[in-house]
């Protein structure tokens, strides 16, 4: 399950921020990534993990969610009064075998 955010439905009531057990949702001004990461509620420890940044909201702020910290528990979607957060199914396909696991190609005689 993945959290999907629809900015036009958000009324910036902060209910999702209050319920999130990991503090991974932050409503703030937009900015350069490093500056933005420094303003997240939960410390951003793994810079290689992407942030989920929304389009601008009615107040001009954005919603930032650190995917490194999100548990995909769905509490934000349950709490949201407008349906701005939605839990949706997605399929993640990852290749586990690298080139070292492949059979060597036979050379033509």
In the bound state with ligand SF4, the residue whose beta carbon lies nearer, of 11 and 47, is 11
| 85 interacts with ligand SF4 by CB under 6 A | yes
| 24 interacts with ligand SF4 by CB under 6 A | yes
| 50 interacts with ligand SF4 by CB under 6 A | no
Output Rg (C-alpha) for the chain, integer angstroms: 19
What distance in Å separates the CA atoms of residue 108 and residue 65, rounded to the nearest whole number?
53
Report the Cα 46 to chain-centroid distance in Å. 13
| 55 interacts with ligand SF4 by CB under 6 A | no
Q: How far is CA 65 from CA 25, 95, 104, 107, in A?
A: 5, 26, 44, 51
In the bound state with ligand SF4, the residue whose beta carbon lies nearer, of 28 and 95, is 28
| 40 interacts with ligand SF4 by CB under 6 A | no
**Roughly how many angstroms between the first and final C-alpha of the chain, as a whole number?**
51
Residues in touch with ligand SF4 (CB under 6 A): 3, 10-16, 19-22, 24-25, 65, 70-76, 79-80, 82, 84-85
């Amino acid at each position: 399950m993945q959290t999907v955010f629809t900015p036009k439905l958000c009324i910036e009531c902060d209910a999702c921020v209050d319920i999130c057990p990991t503090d991974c949702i932050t409503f703030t001004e937009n900015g350069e990534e490093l500056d933005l990461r420094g303003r997240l509620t939960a410390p951003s420890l793994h810079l290689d993990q992407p942030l989920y940044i929304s389009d601008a909201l009615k107040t001009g702020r954005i919603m930032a969610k650190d995917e490194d910290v999100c548990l995909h528990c769905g509490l934000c979607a349950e709490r949201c009064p407008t349906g701005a957060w939605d839990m949706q199914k997605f399929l993640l396909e990852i290749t586990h075998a690298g080139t070292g696991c492949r059979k060597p190609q036979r050379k033509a005689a």
